[in-house]
Amino acid sequence: MMDYARQRAIEALKTSRNAVLATIGPAGLQVSEFPCEAVELIIYLLVPKTSDHLFNLEHDATVSIVTNACELKGEAHIISPIASDLELDLLKKPDIEWCEIVRVDPSQIQFRREKGWGNLETIDLP
């Protein structure tokens, strides 16, 4: 059975359809919004192959993401959509051939307040 914190994190992630990705590396600080989809505690982003984010991720896999419900920190991995056996709605997008899938395994999730500023709660994930 899932504990409360894990279930809360899964619920927050599954409502997100877009996410702002922040990476840093040889291309400098990059911040962009991309379509996303979550499966359990893993979030997948559809990133164009020409994006400097992919160049940064080759050097440093640490990322930050902001969605409508939460902010998260984690480690990213680039996955080719052609070689993927994932069953994601993202893979059905018409521009998928010009994109890569970025898989993010969160290490920390901070729930955002619906009104006002600041975070409501923080969950550290193993």
3-state helix/strand/coil string of 58-115: HHCCEEEEECCCEEEEEEEEEECCCCCCCCCHHHHCCCHHHEEEEEEEEEEEEEECCC
Q: How many domains does the chain have?
A: 1
| DSSP assigned state of 120 | E
Q: What is the pLDDT of residue 30?
A: 98
Q: What is the pLDDT of residue 111?
A: 85
Q: What is the pLDDT of residue 24?
A: 97
Q: Domain span at residue 69?
A: 4-124
What mean pLDDT value characterizes the chain?
Answer: 89
8 A C-beta contact, residue 35 and residue 16: no
Q: What is the pLDDT of residue 1?
A: 33
Q: What is d(CA 74, CA 5) in angstroms, rounded to the nearest whole number?
A: 17
- CATH code of 93's domain: 2.30.110.10
Low-confidence ranges of the chain (pLDDT < 50): 1
Q: What is the pLDDT of residue 116?
A: 65
Q: What is the pLDDT of residue 17?
A: 92
